[in-house]
Amino acid sequence: MQLSKRLKAVADTVTIGNRVADVGCDHAYISIYLIKNNIAPNVIAMDINKGPLQRAKENITNLGFNKNIQTRLSDGLQKLEPGEADTILIAGMGGALMIKILDEGMKAVEKSTELILQPQSEINLVRKFLHRIGYDIKKEQMVKEDGKYYFILKAVPEPHITDYKREVFYQYGKLLLEQQEPLMMEYLERENRIRGDVKTELLLNPTEKALERLGEVNQEIAYIEEALTYFK
């Protein structure tokens, strides 16, 4: 069972020895990888859909990991008891849904020691949410797979949160910018080209709605250009 580059990077971010809740586990590929590679002693594989969870059970049974991985039909963190998992791992969901799951499962979140998150969108909102609930972002990494860019965050509860004084840090990741992550520069340059094309199209048809969107695009370009200064 071969993990994708993205999922392997997510799984490898888990602290060795932690008990893991794999939320939205799908076919339990990450859960199985964590046990197979002695990263986690046990995993709770959770999913809201019966079909994928049944397939997960079959995969787990076929590999003989029933003692180490238990499956639960669960809407987000609803079926996870506080203290059952050290690491809460959520990958491949939109940022807004991820925030909703964490917010609604705050009792379990508060008893965890780390969050491993790979949001597909609205990553800036996820970063802000983590700070709001008292989780400091200790690690960020990027993975490029099949032409797409993915962001992976590792956050832990801290009494003192790193101060993100500039909005650009929430938009593109303070650690990624300060560490001059090469993939981030590539990503920013691509995003800048896309925004430039959008701006050109909007100016060709300057309706009231287009001008409103133009203001948003100009702000997005400003953040991108500010982020690019970290690579000069």
The verdict on 129 and 44 lying in the same domain is: yes
**Choice between 2 and 100, residue whose per-residue pLDDT is larger:** 100
Please report whether residue 173 resides in a domain: no
Instruction: Report, as an integer, the average pLDDT of 33-44.
Output: 98
The pLDDT assigned to 205 comes to 86
pLDDT band for position 76 (cuts 50, 70, 90): very high
Does residue 165 belong to any structural domain of this protein? no
57-72 average pLDDT score:
96
Instruction: Based on the fold, state whether residues 142 and 78 are members of the same structural domain.
Output: yes
Q: What integer pLDDT is reported at residue 192 of this predicted model?
A: 97
Q: Given CA atoms 94, 96, 101, 102 in this order, what sign does their dihedral have? A: positive
Could you tell me the pLDDT band of residue 68, with boundaries at 50, 70 and 90? very high
| Structure confidence by residue, pLDDT tens digits, 147-169 | 999 999 999 999 999 999 999 99
| Co-location of 13 and 126 in the same domain | yes
Q: What domain range is 124 assigned to? A: 5-160
Residues 134 and 189 in one domain: no
β-pairing verdict for 135-145 and 148-157: antiparallel
Contact assessment for residue 131 and residue 102, using Cβ atoms and an 8 Å cutoff? no
Backbone φ and ψ for 72, nearest 5 degrees, come out as -140, 130
**208 shares its domain with 102:** no
Flag whether pLDDT at 1 surpasses 80.
no
Q: Specify whether 134 is located in the same domain as 224.
A: no
- Three-state secondary structure call for residue 222: helix
Residues 84 and 197 in one domain: no
Is 30 inside a domain boundary? yes
In a domain, 177, yes or no: no
25: in domain: yes
What's the structural domain count of the chain?
Answer: 2
Say which DSSP state 232 is in: -
For 108, counting Cβ atoms within 10 Å of its Cβ (0-12 exposed, 13-18 middle, 19+ buried), the class is: buried
Alpha helices in 63-166 (DSSP H): 95-104, 106-110, 123-132
In a domain, 96, yes or no: yes
Mean pLDDT (whole number) for 70-86:
97
Distance CA 160, CA 27 (A): 37
Give the mean pLDDT of the chain. 96
pLDDT at 102: 98
What would the pLDDT profile of 103-114 be if each residue is shown by its tens digit?
999 999 999 999
Q: Which of 145, 160, 175 is the last residue before a domain boundary?
A: 160
The pLDDT value given to residue 220: 96
Answer yes or no: do 103 and 147 share one domain: yes
CB atoms within 10 A of CB 115: 22
Q: pLDDT above 90 covers what percent of the chain?
A: 97
Q: Is residue 67 part of a domain?
A: yes
